[in-house]
């Protein structure tokens, strides 16, 4: 009996004993970090507390590793047992490293079609991988989802899910839920029709696919669908709220984050913008773009949906993360979904029904006057309505939103939400555009610039109970990295001008910083090594939509303000501070390891 117990413990230490049913339990082991979100609730909170405000100044680089490509590095590493896994931007090589020493265990190189680089809207990024049941799952830019044996690096299966020649790419980190791998597509700026697909994790076969737009049968809307708001009640709204023939190229891709509630067996995620950006070409609400969905994890059936930006005027995707928390509502604990919206509102939503309890501005908003929680719709500012052949100025936030894909973190100790985000406004002129498969389907010229106060980024702490900002750190550039927070009361993020930062989670006081080889747009994680030390890991490598100007291979001219869908105007000085990079940096308090 004792030998059997030891064997089971050894398997768990290798991270190979988990099944789909107990992945959530494995995620609760703070020595590991088995999915980019840390857990199904998307909190990015770790119970490790070796690194604290009292000793964080003693951090140093323990080891580093190059993923070998100088595109934007947005991925989060994961740690399972004593092994770290990290995927780079195109060509999406996957590496297995000793989590304590940085020694390379194996490398898997997928055969990614180089032509797919030309179809990526906003750099050839990848946001990470996930572990389940002895396998690592990740996506490639050319529309493949891949399963690799976590111990050997051997390919188990690779499945093609779309055609990049029609503008579709895969950039998101998948999620493993009950033996299924959930994957969404990218390509809203190419007129790609969005979907979320569930694959059988053992075979790669499609279990179900839920489209974002189209008839109810495609969106998997049926008898279980009970939306809270009236404008979501009706048949085939994914067709009727579009002009004839437009929904087929209507966008709504699913390239952000997915949360999962084991108690209700529901997955929650948001859909992207409608296509094109010119709203005059698609009158109507354009359902179900810019929508948060709740779906049954087994079947994909929709249970409720909230469209937060009907007839989107500004490219306000709703792909941002949804944190599953319990907060006091009306004096009693309530199961809620917290969604930092791209439009600048912090939404608190009942995750059983979709009812919106509150929507408070966490950044400057001029595009909308307020959000009507009774109607479930924004109150628009008519003076800033975008339309064809009219340059509309002073729109805040800009198209990337007050916050884009870069994930927040929540600490149950401080009860604060930590928000890395941009602070940008824009001028916007819509124009007519025709759809041609595989080419940009935009119909807008955008010029972005710093918001009020003349800063472009912020790292803020938000009190979800008091519904207000507690403290904020202003940054020169958008804070395009994700963040994480720990029981040691530290929060971590990176800046585009190359600073890795550790701050006091209670006050925001800077505790430690390190000037990296390149700017940060990645996601920090923390874990415990085999030596007992706590480590923090994060990819350095500027790029993505916000940082494309600093990557030479992007070929952008800084003199053209509306390049990169308008971002070059806001980032013209970025190349003076950084260039592209590919370095994984790992920090600790312990004695530095020898170079590897």
- Percentage of the chain beyond pLDDT 70 is 95
Residue 360 CB coordination number (10 Å): 17
Distance set, CA 353 to CA 18, 265, 323, 337 (Å): 32, 14, 16, 10
| CATH code at position 92 | 2.140.10.10
Within a domain: 161:
yes
Which range (251-255, 358-362, 395-399, 564-568) has the least confidence? 564-568
Distance (Å, whole) CA 39 – CA 311: 33
What does the pLDDT read at residue 17?
38
Tell me what the mean pLDDT of segment 339-367 comes to: 98
What dihedral angle (degrees, nearest 10) is formed by the CA atoms of 109, 115, 116, 121? Answer: 140
Within a domain: 6:
no
Within a domain: 97:
yes
Q: Exposed, middle or buried, 326 (CB in 10 Å: 0-12/13-18/19+)? A: exposed
φ, ψ of residue 553 to 5 degrees: the values are -65, -15
SS3 578: coil
For the record, the structure tokens of 521 come out as 């747009």
For the record, the structure tokens of 310 come out as 């009907």
What does the pLDDT read at residue 22?
82
Question: 37 lies in which domain range?
Answer: 28-112+120-588
What does the pLDDT read at residue 4?
39
pLDDT for 495-540, tens place per residue?
999 999 999 999 999 999 999 999 999 999 999 999 999 999 999 9
Q: Do 343 and 367 meet the contact criterion of CB atoms below 8 Å apart? A: yes
Within a domain: 569:
yes
Number of domains in the chain: 1
Non-local CB neighbours of 79 within 8 Å, separated by 6+ positions: 32, 33, 34, 85, 99, 525, 527, 537
Non-local CB neighbours of 36 within 8 Å, separated by 6+ positions: 75, 76, 78, 127, 128, 129, 130, 173, 407, 523, 525
Residue 21 has pLDDT above 60, yes or no: no
Cα angle value 174/76/204 (rounded, 5°): 20
Within a domain: 171:
yes
Within a domain: 90:
yes
Distance (Å, whole) CA 433 – CA 191: 11
437-440 long-range contacts (CB < 8 A, ≥24 apart) are 437/165, 437/166, 437/167, 437/190, 437/191, 438/119, 438/165, 438/166, 438/167, 438/190, 439/167, 439/190, 440/121, 440/189, 440/190
Sheet holding 135-139, edge to edge: 130-132, 135-139, 144-149, 155-160
464-503 exposure pattern, b = at least 16 Cβ within 10 A, e = fewer: beeeebbbbbebbbbbbbbbbbbbbbbbbbbbbbbbbbbb
Q: What is the mean pLDDT of the chain?
A: 94
**Residue 9 gets which letter from DSSP?**
H
Within a domain: 4:
no
What does the pLDDT read at residue 291?
98
Within a domain: 551:
yes
- Active site amino acids: 189, 273, 315
Q: Do 139 and 183 meet the contact criterion of CB atoms below 8 Å apart? A: yes
- Percentage of the chain beyond pLDDT 90 is 90
């Amino acid at each position: 009996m004792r030998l059997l117990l030891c064997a089971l413990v050894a398997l768990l230490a290798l991270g190979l004993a988990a099944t789909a049913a107990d992945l959530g339990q494995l995620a609760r082991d703070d020595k590991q970090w088995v999915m980019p979100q840390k857990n199904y609730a998307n909190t990015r909170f770790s119970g490790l507390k070796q690194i604290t405000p009292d000793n964080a100044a003693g951090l140093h680089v323990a080891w580093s590793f190059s993923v070998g490509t100088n595109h934007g590095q947005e991925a989060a590493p994961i740690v399972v047992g004593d092994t770290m896994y990290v995927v780079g931007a195109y060509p999406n090589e996957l590496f297995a490293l000793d989590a304590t020493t940085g020694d390379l265990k194996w490398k898997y190189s997928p055969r990614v079609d180089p032509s797919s680089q030309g179809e990526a809207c906003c750099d050839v990024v990848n946001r990470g991988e996930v572990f389940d049941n002895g396998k690592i799952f990740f996506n490639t830019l050319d529309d493949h989802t891949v399963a690799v044996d976590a111990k050997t690096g051997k390919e188990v299966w690779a499945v093609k899910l779309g055609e990049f020649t029609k503008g579709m790419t895969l950039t998101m980190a998948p999620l493993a839920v009950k033996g299924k791998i959930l994957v969404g597509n990218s390509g809203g700026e190419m007129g790609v029709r969005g979907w979320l697909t569930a694959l059988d994790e053992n075979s790669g076969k499609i279990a179900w696919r839920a489209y974002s737009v189209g008839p109810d049968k495609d969106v998997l809307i049926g008898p279980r669908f009970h939306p809270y708001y009236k404008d979501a009640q009706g048949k085939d709204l994914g067709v009727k709220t579009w002009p004839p023939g437009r929904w087929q190229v209507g966008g709504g891709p699913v390239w952000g984050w997915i949360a999962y509630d084991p108690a209700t067996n529901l997955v929650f995620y948001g859909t992207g913008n409608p296509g094109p950006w010119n709203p005059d070409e698609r009158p109507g609400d354009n359902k179900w773009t810019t929508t948060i969905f709740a779906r049954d994890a087994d079947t994909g059936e929709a249970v409720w949906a909230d469209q937060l930006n009907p007839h989107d005027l500004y490219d306000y995707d709703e792909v941002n993360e949804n944190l599953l928390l319990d907060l006091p509502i009306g004096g009693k604990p309530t199961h809620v979904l917290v969604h930092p919206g791209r439009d600048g509102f912090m939404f608190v939503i009942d995750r059983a029904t979709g009812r919106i309890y509150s929507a408070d501005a966490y950044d400057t908003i001029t595009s909308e006057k307020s959000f009507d929680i009774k109607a479930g719709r924004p109150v628009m500012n008519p003076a800033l309505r975008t339309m064809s052949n009219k340059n509309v100025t002073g729109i805040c936030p800009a198209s990337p939103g007050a916050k884009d894909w870069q994930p927040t973190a929540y600490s149950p100790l401080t009860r604060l939400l930590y928000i890395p985000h941009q602070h940008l406004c824009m001028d916007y002129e819509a124009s007519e555009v025709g759809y041609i498969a595989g080419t940009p389907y935009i119909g807008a010229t955008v010029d972005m610039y710093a918001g009020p106060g003349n800063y472009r980024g912020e790292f803020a702490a938000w009190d979800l109970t008091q519904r207000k900002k507690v403290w904020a750190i202003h940054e020169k550039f958008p804070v395009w990295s994700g963040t994480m927070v720990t029981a040691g009361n530290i929060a971590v993020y990176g800046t585009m001008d190359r600073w890795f930062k550790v701050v006091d989670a209670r006050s925001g006081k800077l505790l430690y910083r390190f000037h990296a080889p390149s700017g940060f747009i990645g996601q920090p994680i923390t874990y415990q090594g085999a030596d007992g030390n706590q480590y923090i890991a994060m990819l350095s490598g500027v790029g993505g939509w916000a940082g494309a100007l600093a990557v030479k291979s992007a070929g952008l001219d800084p003199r053209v303000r509306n390049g990169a869908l308008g971002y070059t105007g806001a980032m013209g000085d970025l190349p003076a501070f950084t260039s592209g990079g590919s370095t994984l940096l790992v920090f600790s308090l312990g004695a530095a390891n020898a170079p590897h």
